[in-house]
Amino acid sequence: MKMPTYKNIGIGILLSTAMAACNLTNVTDVLPVNQVFEDQAITNLKQAQSVLDGTYGVLKTGLEFPVYAPAGATLMGLTSKPGASAGNSEQSYFDNNVETKNGTLGSVYSKAYSILNNANFIIEKTAALESTDPRKKEIIAEAKFLRALSHFYLLRLHGQFFKMDSKYGIVIKTEPIRMVKAVPRNSVKESYDIILSDLTDAIADGPEFTNTFYASKLAAKALKAKVLLYAKQYAEAATLANEVVTSGKRQLEKDYIDIFKKKIDKPLEVIFQTPFDDKSDRNNKAFMFRAYYIPSDYYVELMKGDNRDSVAIIKVVSNGTMRNNKFNGSTYAGQTLTADTEYFLRLDEIYLILAEALARSNPDLSVARDAVNVIRKRANMPDITANAKAALLEEIRIEKIKELGGESGEEWFDLVRYATEGNLKVSDYKPGVVNELRYILPLPFETVRLSNGVLEQNPGY
């Protein structure tokens, strides 16, 4: 598969490699910037652009963000179960009982901080350049978007994102690491504050949307709407989500199947995603989503009777196994895929964010129903008609599973959010999760151990 590639990724990859060469060596799992190399890496905007391109490359390279983070969340949630090739690691995610020494846990955590360190390096060095070129602000804004994205992923996975007054946020990093020094976690509120601040800046100074592989004002606005939903700032989330869906910059695909047929080839509704090349960038996602992660029994049953069923799930005739058809058994230009993309943000999700935010903040439930029914109409499914707030919220949650199931585990984070709003009990869906101690993953063992008591582990681990 031929696809656009990030330009000049060498510097960014080199930075990430240099800073993550010794895995789990300190509280953020990355080594400090080498001062000599640092002084030479960004001395003009062209070099800043090269390091930014490289940081996009780090996001897509490896299995952490295209596979492990999203697939792990689907196992924790309701749409995946371990496949034939899965082992103890995948089973522990499915059981919501991940150990602190889990290798997948550590690799995702390390990759997120490597991206953060690159982003901080870009922000600091580019800001110091003497230039009136408007691209300077855009480069900084794109780096802030990537910093916000990484911090948000860390907060959802490892912090008590559902409890604003909790001290169990994440280790926030807004400067390059120059010395190995353990630092304590920030609170959840502090974590949200820096994420939202970065996204505000990215909206103000970022470039206009041009394609799905790069950050933009639109992508920052979409991500901020999502973060505001998690932060329970529902009216604000609804306002931003509405701006995204009415912007005219993206539109829903005519048919649901087109999302997964097009992949990265001129998609209409994708807002931000990773590129991939099945020839040279074999991230193995398609293989892993048929061998390690397969549709759960709950997901298979839920999708019966829905017009999206055959797009989402396919039955292997030879042995009766169900596969995730979004990433498996699919082809591109007549070629069976090994690699695949990660859809970080799509317009269909923003419609559903809008619907939930409206349902929670606007007494006129019809506007929330209208947002859901846009998605229902695209799927050629009848409109929902719920008139009570609780029933409508449940319809929205189920609709998100049907639209986004088996992708990035959004249904898991929704379960946690709905539970903390008093809408449901997680244990009714995941019997092993009897309290909030298993709503989040632990911090990696070595990260905590090597902090010498500075970094506090999550309760219950």
pLDDT, one tens digit per residue, over 174-227 is: 999 887 788 999 999 999 999 999 999 999 999 999 999 999 999 999 999 999
In a domain? residue 157: yes
Task: Count CA atoms closer than 13 A to 322's CA, side-chain side.
Answer: 22
In a domain? residue 284: yes
- Residue 296 reports pLDDT greater than 60: yes
Secondary structure, 3-state, 6-24 = CCCCHHHHHHHHHHHCCCC
Q: Are residues 316 and 184 in the same domain?
A: no
User: What are the C-alpha distances in Å from 352 to residues 123, 191, 274, 329?
Assistant: 33, 24, 22, 28
Q: Are residues 156 and 290 in the same domain?
A: no
* Range list of H helices, 77-187: 88-94, 103-127, 135-158
**For a pLDDT cut of 70, what percent of the chain falls above it?**
88
- The confidence score (pLDDT) of residue 337 equals 63
Residue 131 sits in a domain whose CATH number is 1.25.40.390
Last residue of a domain, one of 207, 233, 253: 207
Q: Are residues 132 and 52 in the same domain?
A: yes
What is the distance between the alpha carbons of residues 38 and 31, in angstroms, rounded to a whole number?
A: 13
Confidence of residue 278 (pLDDT cuts 50, 70, 90): low
| pTM (predicted TM-score) | 0.93
Q: Are 4 and 275 in contact (CB under 8 A)?
A: yes
> What residues are paired with 217 via a beta bridge?
none
User: What are the C-alpha distances in Å from 9 to residues 53, 187, 271?
Assistant: 5, 34, 22
Q: Are residues 40 and 175 in the same domain?
A: yes
pLDDT in tens, 342-370: 999 999 999 999 999 999 999 999 999 99
What is the distance between the alpha carbons of residues 142 and 69, in angstroms, rounded to a whole number?
A: 22
Strands 343-346 and 270-273 turn out to be: antiparallel
**Average confidence (pLDDT) over 11-27:** 40
**Average confidence (pLDDT) over 99-126:** 96
In a domain? residue 289: yes
The total of structural domains in the chain comes to 2
In a domain? residue 447: no
- The confidence score (pLDDT) of residue 27 equals 39
Closest residue by Cα to residue 111 from 6, 186, 20, 223: 20
pLDDT in tens, 41-87: 799 999 999 999 999 999 999 999 999 999 999 999 999 999 999 99
In a domain? residue 453: no
**95 or 20, greater pLDDT:** 95
In a domain? residue 176: yes
Tell me 266's DSSP state.
S
Q: Are 371 and 352 in contact (CB under 8 A)?
A: yes
- 313 token code pair: 């799930």
Secondary structure (3-state) at 343: strand
In a domain? residue 202: yes
Domain coverage including residue 44: 7-207
**pLDDT averaged over the chain?**
90
Q: Are residues 131 and 23 in the same domain?
A: yes
- The confidence score (pLDDT) of residue 26 equals 40
**Average confidence (pLDDT) over 297-312:** 97
- The confidence score (pLDDT) of residue 5 equals 55
**402 or 35, greater pLDDT:** 402
- Residue 232 reports pLDDT greater than 90: yes
Q: Are residues 34 and 170 in the same domain?
A: yes
Q: Are 286 and 328 in contact (CB under 8 A)?
A: yes
- Residue 425 reports pLDDT greater than 70: yes
Last residue of a domain, one of 154, 174, 207: 207
Angle at 107 between CA 347 and CA 426, to 5 degrees: 60
Where is average pLDDT lowest: 16-25, 90-99, 447-456?
16-25
- Residue 338 reports pLDDT greater than 90: no
- Residue 14 reports pLDDT greater than 60: no
Q: Are residues 160 and 292 in the same domain?
A: no
In a domain? residue 161: yes
Last residue of a domain, one of 159, 180, 207: 207
* Range list of H helices, 42-102: 45-60, 69-76, 88-94
- 155 token code pair: 């907060």
Q: Are residues 301 and 188 in the same domain?
A: no
- The confidence score (pLDDT) of residue 409 equals 97
**216 or 285, greater pLDDT:** 216
Where is average pLDDT lowest: 112-126, 285-299, 315-329, 388-402?
315-329
**318 or 395, greater pLDDT:** 395
Q: Are residues 191 and 286 in the same domain?
A: no
Q: Are residues 202 and 282 in the same domain?
A: no
Confidence of residue 23 (pLDDT cuts 50, 70, 90): very low
- Residue 11 reports pLDDT greater than 50: no
What is the distance between the alpha carbons of residues 226 and 410, in angstroms, rounded to a whole number?
A: 11
What is the distance between the alpha carbons of residues 292 and 85, in angstroms, rounded to a whole number?
A: 5
- The confidence score (pLDDT) of residue 284 equals 85
Long-range contacts of residues 101-105, Cβ cutoff 8 Å, at least 24 apart: 101/444, 101/445, 104/68, 104/72, 105/441, 105/442, 105/444
Q: Are residues 200 and 287 in the same domain?
A: no
- The confidence score (pLDDT) of residue 388 equals 97
Q: Are residues 41 and 174 in the same domain?
A: yes
